[in-house]
Amino acid sequence: MDRSAWSSHARRLCAWFARLLRQEVLWVVLAAGLSLWVHAKYRLTGFGEQDAARLTHDTVIWHLRGRILSNESTYRMHTSAGYIHVLKLALDHGLRIARLPKLMNWLSVVLGTGCSVALYALFRQFSAPRYAALAILMYAATPGFWLANVYGMPTIPGLCGFTLAVLCFVRACRVPKLWSPRLPLLVLGSLACLFWAMSFKADLILCTGVFAALAVSARGRRWVMLALASFIVLGTVLANNRYVHAVLTPVASTETTTKFLKSWSAQFPFKLSALLDRSNNQTIVHCVGGLLFSVLVVAVLSALMRGATWRRRALGALAWAAPPVLFWGLQYGDSARHNVFGVAPLFLVAAHFVFLLVGERAPRAFGLGLLFVFLSYFSDMKFSGTVVPASNFLDTTERLESQTAGYHRNGHRIALNPAPKRLAVGSDVASMYLEFELYAAAKHPEMVDTYEMHDGAQVTFFGFSTGRRQETRTVRDMTRRGFVVLSQ
């Protein structure tokens, strides 16, 4: 074969490869499949943190008792009513209590991949595929987003719904004609997705400033889109409030939303010192990862100081990101999980910034982005749990699995004790794991009140220690009454 033939074959191969690279849907499907496989591989077997066990506690008591007392879960019923309701419906339709952690974790795995695809589709509305792909790649490598994908909490399902709501509204802003039948369908779709998001994670209301930013950027129809944005956000707030207080009134607190917010602000007041306190603000940094957080900050500041296009891009991202990050950052007791949905749009700004650094050359940009991810992964390797996760998230996941599996294992050992009368005493951290294992092991559990469970001939009292002296007194009194004391 002569040189011209070889050249012809090489040109055809290059052309075929170039066409393959342009098959965006194919690459998205392959990336989604890889994401699903990786997160399923590292998925936890039990509850990833105590709050996940608390959500299950509410679900099981609602399922067994038919009601939830207001003093048990006022906060969770106001903030994650939809998530608890879904889990309760699963129990009502035959799911075993012991299977709840598996259901919750798989929901996060599947919807985490769906959330990544939805974010990519949203970023594609504003940027070329290469920018959107790099943004998702860097965001997926953050400790906060990774952990939210491998164990069950309402964060990822809520973020998925919110992303779809924003995507529908962006498409509505770009409908060619206001009288097009697509416009009301997209608006209703946005409202439905936002209701899904807020019923799972009510504090996503803090991100809705992005709707106003998108409406203002809609040239020629700004006031119409502002009215529609107001309709979507206010309609969702009213619908969610009615959902909590009308649909769930028999099982939830009768406390009004206003009273709840007042009691919340009194319990967790806003303080500037909280944002400046390193022990509290490091949750924001560790959600993203040390080096990647620095890249985000530099990218946003650079965009704000550049031209109008860059400035609009940064301000739109901040309309989504700043309120939730500041809301939680100004209160003591912040967690990295609270910042997962806030930082998401900032990675699109960071992706453009990375491309700018290498002269818009895609191979170099992806190489630099991967270098940032690699260095960030090793920037802080001290394991501190889920509140302040370490940057090496794979090792963190393995340690978290070992730790939480121990809680489940100890609780299960106690649950299998055949004593007809027993007092189960759990520490502050492990108490909800112990209570769950008792529910899961019982053949016919019946909740009598908050701290008592009957199961045929057996009765269990729960004692959750808040101090050594109180625990000793409780154990002594229950032992005199003939109870076997079991403790973690």
Residue 252 pLDDT exceeds 50: no
**Distance of alpha carbon 198 from alpha carbon 238, whole angstroms:** 11
Task: Report which of 391, 392, 385, 390 is spatially closest to residue 407, judged by C-alpha positions.
Answer: 385
Strands 421-426 and 452-455: unpaired
The mean-pLDDT minimum among 324-333, 357-366, 418-427 falls in 418-427
Average pLDDT, integer, range 160-181? 91
Do 318 and 460 fall within a single domain?
A: no
Do 284 and 346 fall within a single domain?
A: yes
Order of strands, edge to edge, in the sheet holding 445-449? 445-449, 452-455, 458-464, 421-426, 484-487
**Distance of alpha carbon 107 from alpha carbon 112, whole angstroms:** 8
**Distance of alpha carbon 199 from alpha carbon 166, whole angstroms:** 16
Do 372 and 249 fall within a single domain?
A: yes
Q: Does a structural domain hold residue 243?
A: yes
Task: Determine how many CB atoms are found less than 10 A away from the CB of residue 373.
Answer: 18
Please give the residue range of the domain that contains residue 447: 396-487
User: Which pLDDT tens digit goes with each residue over 403-460?
Assistant: 999 889 888 888 888 788 888 887 767 788 888 888 888 887 877 666 778 887 788 8
Do 421 and 468 fall within a single domain?
A: yes
Do 263 and 407 fall within a single domain?
A: no
Q: Does a structural domain hold residue 180?
A: yes
**Domains contained in the chain, number:** 2
Do 359 and 418 fall within a single domain?
A: no
Do 300 and 448 fall within a single domain?
A: no
The pTM of this model reads 0.90
pLDDT > 70: percent of the chain: 87
Q: Does a structural domain hold residue 98?
A: yes
Do 231 and 164 fall within a single domain?
A: yes
- What's the DSSP call for residue 417? -
Do 332 and 468 fall within a single domain?
A: no
Q: Does a structural domain hold residue 69?
A: yes
379, 405, 427 — which closes off a domain?
A: 379
Task: Specify the higher pLDDT residue, 124 or 270.
Answer: 124
Give the rounded distance of the alpha carbon of 237 from its chain centre.
Answer: 20
Do 360 and 403 fall within a single domain?
A: no
Task: Report which of 186, 254, 283 is spatially closest to residue 225, judged by C-alpha positions.
Answer: 186
8 Å CB contact between 76 and 84: yes
Q: Is 357 helix (H, G, I), strand (E, B) or coil?
A: helix
What is the DSSP annotation of 223-262? HHHHHHHHHHHHHHHHHHHHIIIIITTTTS----HHHHHH
379, 411, 429 — which closes off a domain?
A: 379
At 272, the pLDDT band (50, 70, 90 cuts) reads: confident
Give the rounded distance of the alpha carbon of 44 from its chain centre.
Answer: 15
**Distance of alpha carbon 291 from alpha carbon 295, whole angstroms:** 6
Q: Does a structural domain hold residue 142?
A: yes
Do 285 and 229 fall within a single domain?
A: yes
Do 73 and 209 fall within a single domain?
A: yes
Average pLDDT, integer, range 36-52? 92
**Distance of alpha carbon 390 from alpha carbon 263, whole angstroms:** 33
Q: Does a structural domain hold residue 444?
A: yes
379, 406, 423 — which closes off a domain?
A: 379
Residue 4 pLDDT exceeds 70: no
**Distance of alpha carbon 90 from alpha carbon 473, whole angstroms:** 39
CA distance readout (Å), 291 to 25, 61, 285, 367: 31, 43, 9, 15
Residue 207 corresponds to which tokens in the numbers above?
């991100």
Q: Does a structural domain hold residue 405?
A: yes
Q: Does a structural domain hold residue 315?
A: yes
